Amino acid sequence: MKYSYKNSLLALLIALFILSAAPIAAASAEFSVGSGADDWWIDFPDGHVSSGSEVSHPQWLLDALQDGPVLIYAHKQCSYCAPQEEALDELLPEYEGQIDFIDVDAEKGDPKSGEVAIYDPDGGPHYVPLTIVATLVEDQDGNVAVGWHSSEAVTGKDWIQSYIEDAIYYHDQNSAGWSQ
């Protein structure tokens, strides 16, 4: 009987450790602020034709960031964009009310279509799908600034989810200190 009690106690302790570690893991960002390939960018990133230069964000994005992080999806109705759209359709309901989703149809004359081109990760020819996640981050001087990350490839669900979760975390941490 003692052996069963010890196993039960050990199982309980392991479960408590796992449950207590979960909030710690969720209370930090996966990606840091910088200029590298996976970083949250404030200025144009390494590899961009305007690397290190300041980004002039459209007013509609700045307005949207008042309320929370933003995911912008610029696309065409094409077979190449379909897997990215499927990943978004699967993920977005899970984050409803936590991130603003802006759908930009690049074929139907959406005025935002030209404006989101500044978020092309390399500044070269613009391809779709272009997925952009924007939030509020702290710059190297401790000031709150717009942080963004983008990809013009089919990234898949895991990539999107990682950046959404980071965007929510950073916005929660920095929104009180932001004024546009």
Q: What is the dihedral of CA 158, 28, 92, 63, to 10 degrees?
A: -130
User: pTM of the full predicted structure?
Assistant: 0.84
Residue 132: phi and psi, rounded to 5, are -125, 130
pLDDT value for 8: 54
pLDDT value for 19: 44
From the options 3.30.930.10, 3.40.30.10, 3.40.50.720, 3.20.20.150, give the CATH code of 31-177: 3.40.30.10
Q: What is the dihedral of CA 6, 11, 15, 16, to 10 degrees?
A: 0
12-68 per-position pLDDT tens digit: 545 444 444 433 334 789 999 999 999 999 999 999 999 999 999 999 999 999 999
**Rounded to the nearest 10 degrees, what angle do helices 157-174 and 82-91 cross at?**
50
pLDDT value for 5: 55
Q: What is the dihedral of CA 54, 56, 61, 65, to 10 degrees?
A: 40
pLDDT value for 27: 72
- Does residue 166 register a pLDDT over 70? yes
pLDDT value for 152: 94
